[in-house]
Structure 1
Amino acid sequence: MPKKIIAILFFTFCLLAFGQSKKIVYDLKIQGNKKVKTSFIKMISDIKAGTVLDSTLLENDIIRLKRLPSVSHAYYQVFHSEGDKYNVFYNIEENFTLIPSANIFTTNDDEFAYRLGLSEFNFLGRSIILGGFYQKDIYDSYAINLRAPFLFSKSLGLAINYQDLTTLEPVFFDNSSSNYKYNNTSYEVLGLYQFDFNNRLELGLNYFVEDYQYKSGATNPNVPLELNVHKWLAKGIYEFNNLDYNYQYISGFRSLFNFQYVTSTDVILPDFFIGWNDFFYFKRIGRKGNWANRLRLGLSSNDETPFAPFSVDNNLNIRGVGNIIDRGTGVVVLNTEYRHTLIDKNWFVLQGNVFVDSGSWRNPGGDFGDFGKSQNVRIYPGLGIRFIHKKIYNAIFRLDYGYGITPNATQGFVFGIGQYF
C-alpha cells in the first residue's frame, strides 16, 4: 500500500511539473531606435530568442538600457505568438548624444576659469564615448578620451585617455602658501569588466609626468622651486550600481570605490597610495521631488608634503569655496540636496534645488583629529537652478550659488553641465 501511494504522488508531481510549461521568448524586437544599433541592444540584453520569459530579466534589461547615454527612456511589451511562445518588444526613446560641455566657475576673489568640451556618447551606434575638452584656467589645457565598455562583449571593454593639464596650483607649507605653474601630461589605458547587472570593475595603468614651476608666494629651502617627475599609476575602480532612472528623477543606491598606487622617481614626491569611496543615495519625494546625497570618504599616504592629493575645490566637493584653496591627506565630504521640479513639459524641465555641501580634511602628516578641527571644516549651504532638456543626454545646465558659514568663508557661483553629482 505505501508503494502504491508513493507511485500516485510521483505521477501527480510529474503531471503538475510538465503541465505547467514555461513561457519561451520567440523573438526580441527593438522599436524606436534610429542611431543605436539593434544588434548592439540585443547583444547587451539578457532576454534573447529561445530563452525563458522572465520578468526579472525584462526589468533588468530596461534599467540597463536607461543607463545608456544614448537612451532617454525605455519600456517593454509582451505579446503572445503561438503555444508557449511570446514576442518581446523593447521600445526605445533615444537621446541626442553629440553633446557640448561647459563649466564656468568664479569666487568673490574674481577668479574665473572655464572648460569647454565636445563628446559623442553613441559613437558607431554602440554607446562608445569619444570626446575631449579645452580648459582655460590661467593656462591652456586639453584632453582626449575614448571609452568603449562593450567593445569586446556585453561584459568586456576598454578605455584610453590622454590629458595635458596646466593650472596655477597653491602649495601649502609653514602656515603659508605659494603658487606654482603645474603641468600633468598623462597616458592611460583601462580594461573594463562588468560582472553582472550591478557590479563592474576597471583596472589599468597610467604613465604621467608632473612639472612644477614656482611663480609667487612664500619659499622654503626644503620645497624646490622647480620639479619634474615621471610617475606610474596603477588604478582600480569597483562600482556597485542599483540606480533606476525616470527622466530627471533618480532612485536607489550606488557605491564607487577608487584606489590608486603611484610610483615616483623623485624623493620630493615619494611613492604613495590614495583611495576613496563615493556613496550615493537617491530617493523620490512625492511626485516632483528628489533627494540626492553623496558621501565621500578618502585617505592617502600621510606624508608631510605640500603636494597632498585631496583638494578643496569648487568643482569637486564644496560649491562656492574657490579653486583649490587647500589640500589634505584625508577627506570626508557630504553633499546633500533637494531637487524639485518646477516645470515639466514634453522636452523641457525647470528644476530648483537647495543644498548643503560640507567637508573636512586631514592635514599632511596630521592625525584623524584634524577632521574635527574648526579650521579644517567647511560648510556651504546654497541655492541652485537646473535647465534640463529631456531628449539630449546630460543636457542639464546648472547654476549654483554657495555661501560659506564657517570661519574665513567665501561665496561664489558654480556653473556647469550635468548635475553636480
Structure 2
Amino acid sequence: MFFLSDASKVPALPTTLGSGSSGKTVRPICSILALLVLAAGNLLAQSDSAQIELVGFAGSSRTDTQFLHEYLGIERRDPYTNKVRDEGAQQLRNLGIFSNVTARIESTEQGNRITYYLDEALPILPLLNFGGISENFWFRVGAFDRNTFGRAGLFHVSYRYYDRHSFETYLTAPYQWGPQWGIHAYAGRLATREPVIIAETDLEYDVDRWVAIARGRYNVNRKLHVELGGGVLIEEYDKVDTYTGTPGPAQASFQKTLGQAMVVYDDVDYFGHRVTGFYEEAVAEIVTTAGEAGVFWKFINTLKGYTGVWKDGIIGARLRTGIAKNDASPFLPFVLDSYINVRGVGNRTARGSSEVTVNLEYRHTVLEGSFGAVEAVSFVDVSGWRQAGQSFSETFAKDNTVSFAGVGARFYVQPWLNMVFRIDYGHSLRDDNRQGFVVGTGHYF
C-alpha cells in the first residue's frame, strides 16, 4: 500500500506503443478491454435470445388462430420468461375449449418461438340436467356449441320440462369483434307453475314469460368485462282450474321493457378438474310495464371463491345476494329452488323480494387418470328470503330460511369432452321429510 501526497509523484502513463517496458504495460490493458467487449457481446446475445420472435399454435383446427394471438396479447420482441409462457398456457385453458394445453420454447431460423400445443375439446355437446323431490320432477335437454365462430363463443339450445314446457336459446360471443368487443343475445319461452299467496290464500298460476334480450360487451381486460343492454318481456298468468272461485284474477297479461347492466370480474384458473381463484358478478335490472306508472328494479351480486387444500381437496364457496323493489305483489322475483340455490329443497317452493344464499362445498379427488377424475363432494346450502312488504332483516327470520346438507359426486371427462357431470343429494337440517337430488352437467357453482 502506498499514499500519494504530491501530484508530481504520480507515475506517468506511457504515451507510445513501442517495444520495451511501455509496450508491456499496454498489453494487459488491451487484454482486459478485449474481455470486456466479449462479455458485452455475450450479454447482448443473451438479451436477444430472451426475446420472443414468434408465437405459434399447433392443433387448433377449429379455433381461429388470429383470435388466439389477439387474446394472449404477446407481441414480437416482448421479453421471454417462463412466467410469460406459463401464463399464456393458463389463459388458453381458461377459455374452456381445450382439453389440454402445453407449451414449450424452441429455437427456429426466425428466433425464439413459443409454441402452444392444443387439444381441442369436442365443440358440440349434449346438455342434460334433471332433479326433483317426491311428486316434483324437472329436466332439461339440449345441446351447446362452446367454440362458436372459432372464437370461444357459446351457442345454446334447450328444452325444459318444469311442470310445463319451455324452450330457450342464447348466444354469447365475448370476443366477436376483437379482444375487447362482444355480444350476448337470449330468446325463450319460460313456462312454469308458480305458487302464490293472495289474501292469505295459497294459489297456483300457470305463467308464461316470452323474453328477448341483447347486451353489448366490453372487455376491459382478460379478467374484467362490462355488459349493457335490454329487451322485452311478455308475461301471461292463468289461474290453475282447481283454484276457480278463489281470490285473484283468473287471467292477467303484462308487456314489459327491460334494461340491464352487468359487471363481471373473473380471476378463476382451471387446470383439468381443479379450479382456484375468485369470481364476482353484479347485475342490475330495471323494468317498466306498459300502462303502469313507476319502475321496478332488481339487483343481484354473486361472489364465488375456490382454494386448494391438502393434496387433493378443493373448498368452494358462493354468496348470492339479491334485493328488489318491495312491491306488495304475489309474483316476487326471487325463488327458492333446487336448480338455483339450495340442493334438495324442491322446485320453486317459495318466493321473495330479497335473497341471501350461502353455498359451501368440499370436493376431494378420489380417482384420477388419463380419462379424467372422480371427486367426492359434501356440501351445505343455506338460504333466506324476504316476503312481500317485510323489512330486509326478515330475510334471516327462522320462518324465511332453509338449510340443507348433502353429498354428491363429480365425474370429470377430460379426453375430447373437458366436461363435468354431477349428482347431488340434499337433506333438510330441520325437516326430515324434505330431501331431493339434482343431476346435471358442470359444477353447481
Structure 2 length-normalised TM: 0.85
CA distance in 2, matches of 1:208, 1:186: 5
The alpha-carbon distance between structure 1 residues 59 and 360, as it changes in their structure 2 partners (threshold 3 A), is same
The one of 410, 414, 423 equivalent to 1:390 is 414
Gaps of 5+ in 2: 1-39
| Corresponding position of 2:337 | 313
| Corresponding position of 2:281 | 256
Q: Structure 1: which amino acid aligns with 2:307?
A: K
Preserved contact between residue 321 and residue 409 of structure 1 (Cα < 8 Å): no
Preserved contact between residue 243 and residue 253 of structure 1 (Cα < 8 Å): yes
CA distance in 1, matches of 2:51, 2:178: 24
CA distance in 2, matches of 1:327, 1:408: 22
Matched, 1:30 2:57: yes
Preserved contact between residue 362 and residue 377 of structure 2 (Cα < 8 Å): yes
CA distance in 2, matches of 1:55, 1:219: 73
Matched, 1:299 2:326: no
* 1:58 positional shift: 3.9
Q: Structure 2: which amino acid aligns with 1:194?
A: N
| Corresponding position of 1:225 | 250
The one of 110, 122, 126 equivalent to 1:100 is 126
CA distance in 1, matches of 2:272, 2:65: 22
The alpha-carbon distance between structure 1 residues 316 and 405, as it changes in their structure 2 partners (threshold 3 A), is same
Equivalenced residues, count = 403
CA distance in 2, matches of 1:219, 1:259: 38
| Corresponding position of 1:278 | 302
CA distance in 2, matches of 1:97, 1:220: 51
| Corresponding position of 1:370 | 394
The one of 97, 100, 104 equivalent to 1:73 is 100
The alpha-carbon distance between structure 1 residues 235 and 120, as it changes in their structure 2 partners (threshold 3 A), is same
CA distance in 1, matches of 2:204, 2:51: 67
Which range moves more in the overlay, 60-69 or 239-248?
60-69
CA distance in 1, matches of 2:417, 2:399: 40
| Corresponding position of 1:401 | 425
Which range moves more in the overlay, 303-312 or 389-398?
389-398
* 1:411 positional shift: 0.6
Alignment of 1:409-420 (within 5 A): 410-420=434-444
Alignment of 1:124-135 (within 5 A): 124-135=149-160
Which range moves more in the overlay, 186-195 or 119-128?
119-128
> What percentage of residue pairs aligned between the two structures are identical?
26
Preserved contact between residue 140 and residue 159 of structure 2 (Cα < 8 Å): yes
CA distance in 2, matches of 1:281, 1:368: 25
| Corresponding position of 1:87 | 113
CA distance in 1, matches of 2:314, 2:299: 29
CA distance in 2, matches of 1:205, 1:59: 39
| Corresponding position of 1:235 | 260
* 1:35 positional shift: 2.4
| Corresponding position of 1:177 | 202
Structure 1 length-normalised TM: 0.89
* 1:138 positional shift: 2.7
| Corresponding position of 2:379 | 355
| Corresponding position of 1:213 | 238
The alpha-carbon distance between structure 1 residues 266 and 388, as it changes in their structure 2 partners (threshold 3 A), is farther
The alpha-carbon distance between structure 1 residues 98 and 417, as it changes in their structure 2 partners (threshold 3 A), is same
The alpha-carbon distance between structure 1 residues 144 and 351, as it changes in their structure 2 partners (threshold 3 A), is same
Q: Secondary structure at the match of 2:52?
A: strand
The alpha-carbon distance between structure 1 residues 264 and 59, as it changes in their structure 2 partners (threshold 3 A), is farther
Deviations 1:141-160 (A, max 9, x none): 11121221111111111122
The alpha-carbon distance between structure 1 residues 219 and 195, as it changes in their structure 2 partners (threshold 3 A), is farther
* 1:218 positional shift: 8.3
| Corresponding position of 1:7 | none
CA distance in 2, matches of 1:339, 1:362: 31
* 1:80 positional shift: 4.4
| Corresponding position of 1:9 | none
Q: Secondary structure at the match of 1:253?
A: strand
* 1:134 positional shift: 0.6
CA distance in 2, matches of 1:193, 1:54: 30
CA distance in 2, matches of 1:54, 1:377: 52
Q: Secondary structure at the match of 1:305?
A: coil
The one of 193, 198, 206 equivalent to 2:218 is 193
| Corresponding position of 2:169 | 144
CA distance in 2, matches of 1:357, 1:48: 46
> Which is greater in Rg?
2
Q: Secondary structure at the match of 2:91?
A: helix
CA distance in 2, matches of 1:306, 1:394: 42
C-alpha RMSD of the superposition: 2.4
CA distance in 1, matches of 2:294, 2:244: 22
* 1:250 positional shift: 0.5
Preserved contact between residue 358 and residue 380 of structure 1 (Cα < 8 Å): yes
CA distance in 1, matches of 2:86, 2:296: 43
Matched, 1:39 2:47: no
Deviations 1:225-276 (A, max 9, x none): 2111111111111111111111001111111111111111254x96311111
Q: Structure 2: which amino acid aligns with 1:78?
A: I
Q: Secondary structure at the match of 1:39?
A: helix
* 1:308 positional shift: 0.8
Q: Secondary structure at the match of 2:53?
A: strand
CA distance in 2, matches of 1:312, 1:130: 28
Preserved contact between residue 233 and residue 257 of structure 2 (Cα < 8 Å): yes
